[in-house]
Amino acid sequence: MRAAIWYGARDMQMADAPVPEPAADEVLLKVDAVGICGSELSGYLGQNSLRKPPLIMGHEFSATITGLGAGVSGWTEGDRVTVNPMIPCNACVMCRRGYENLCLNRVLIGAHRPGSFAEYVAVPTKTLYRLPDSVDAIDGTLIEPFACALRAIELSQITPGGSFLIQGAGPIGLLVLLAAKRAGASVIAITDLVESRLEVARAWGATHAVNPAETDIVQLGKDLTEGLGFDAVVDAVGLQATRLSGVLAARPGGHVVFTGLHVDDTTLPGNTIVRSETNIHGAFCYTQQNFAAAVKLIAGGIVPESADWLSIRPLAEADASFAQLIDRPSEVTKVILQP
Ligand SMILES: [Zn+2]
Ligand SMILES: [Zn+2]
């Protein structure tokens, strides 16, 4: 089969690879479409300790079952599916406490085992989610990132009528915006340095979409909330500047959710956090409930049909697409590849 194999920093090439053999309780999938995740950009640059070359990345995908391993029941060839790529062990203490996303032995498809930047991928049946007929191959790739957005929304504890700030209008920030709107936030502010992404955010219902280099977001929050600050903030960037402004823009007792991964060490104002009783949460991946909810919400059409934020390309353009997302992010927001 043809696959986009990552060989090292800024080096991904199309090559031949053996079609994977599905093990017991696994299925063989023919990949229909696969998104490039922000977390894979640092992997492509060789800055992510999880990902070691040579590797087939890819974990946001839709596919069709074409082969069954031993002992598989309940699935047949031709079934259209998406995959929860975070495979828990279901045995460790965190899994037993119900925190599968924090499994101590978790295995990520596309990092610890081969992923879906390829014609075929083998996955355990416990990762499969059936795609409803209303979800096409492209929308199917959005379920995994939308599940991430739902986890952030859940931890933000946003309620109807609340005020909400999202930092970063990349794919996750934009999907958080759609989920915040559905959750009933009345003020939804979003920031980004890229004007074309802010335009998508406005079209999708952001009440305020601003460039943080031009607008003081902490002041804007006060202006919009009678001096209080935002009820909830999601940082979908992960830089020192955005994490700090996120904490400062939240109201006393408000919730700040960090979901973007960028710099490791961040300095935060501890005394302010104490005096304001700011609730700070990390949000990592999603629970099975978030994933199941993402399937339903995508099937219900929560993502507007305007395709101007998606760029759909052949898998052979993987390397060029990674380079473009890193070097020229103003040109493209989300890339979906088709083998
Ligand atoms: Zn992802
Ligand atoms: Zn576990």
Which whole number is the average pLDDT over 62-69? 98
CA 86 to ligand 1 center in whole angstroms: 10
pLDDT > 80? residue 306: no
CATH of the domain at 153: 3.40.50.720
Q: How many angstroms does the Cα of residue 135 sit away from the middle of ligand 1?
A: 19
CA of 178 to the centre of ligand 2 (A): 31
**Whether the predicted pLDDT of 11 surpasses 70:** yes
Asked whether 156 and 291 are in contact (CB, 8 A), the reply is no
Distance 116 CA to ligand 1 centre (A): 12
Cα 311 to ligand 2 centre (Å): 36
84 C-alpha to ligand 2 centroid (Å) = 15
172 and 245 assigned to the same domain: yes
Summarised one tens digit per residue, pLDDT across range 220-233 is: 999 999 999 999 99
The pLDDT score that the predictor gives to residue 307 is 63
In the reported structure, the alpha carbon of residue 40 is separated from the centroid of ligand 1 by a whole-number distance in angstroms of: 8
Lowest mean pLDDT segment, chosen from 65-69, 247-251, 260-264: 260-264
Residue 275 pLDDT more than 80?
yes
In terms of residue numbers, what domain contains 185?
Answer: 146-282
**249 neighbors 219 (Cβ within 8 angstroms):** no
Same structural domain, 130 and 48: yes
Does residue 57 form part of some domain?
yes
Pairing, β 26-35 against β 11-16: unpaired
Give the pLDDT confidence score for residue 101 in this predicted structure.
Answer: 94
Closest ligand relative to 98 C-alpha: 2
Give the three-class secondary structure for 120.
strand
Gap from CA of 38 to ligand 1 centroid (Å):
7
Contacts of 53 (CB under 8 A, 6+ apart): 6, 7, 8, 46
In tens, the pLDDT along 69-121 reads 999 999 999 999 999 999 999 999 999 999 999 999 999 999 999 999 999 99
Which ligand ends up closest to the CA of 59? 1
Using CA atoms, how far apart are residues 154 and 152, in angstroms rounded to an integer? 5
| Burial class, 227, CB count within 10 angstroms (exposed 0-12 / middle 13-18 / buried 19+) | exposed
d(CA 313, CA 339): 9
Q: Which parts of 21-113 are beta strand (E)?
A: 26-35, 60-68, 80-83, 86-87, 107-108
Rounded Cα gap, residues 32 and 64, in angstroms: 7
Nearest bound ligand to CA 147?
1
Token pair listed for 163: 């005020």
Q: Would you state the pLDDT for residue 263?
A: 85
Do 330 and 244 belong to one domain?
no
Q: How far is the CA of 254 from the centre of ligand 1 (A)?
A: 27
Per-residue model confidence as pLDDT tens digits over 136-163: 999 999 999 999 999 999 999 999 999 9
Integer-rounded Cα Rg, in Å, for the chain is 20
**Residue 290, in any domain of the structure:** no
Residues 137 and 164 in one domain: no
pLDDT of residue 231: 98
**Does position 320 have pLDDT exceeding 90, yes or no?**
yes
Give residue 338's pLDDT.
98
Distance 58 CA to ligand 2 centre (A): 22
Q: How far apart are CA 287 and CA 334, in angstroms?
A: 23
pLDDT digits (tens, 9 = 90+) for 50-61: 899 999 999 999
Is residue 36 located within the same domain as residue 131? Answer: yes
Give the CB-side neighbour count of residue 191, counting CA atoms within 13 A: 25
Across 272-279, average pLDDT:
98
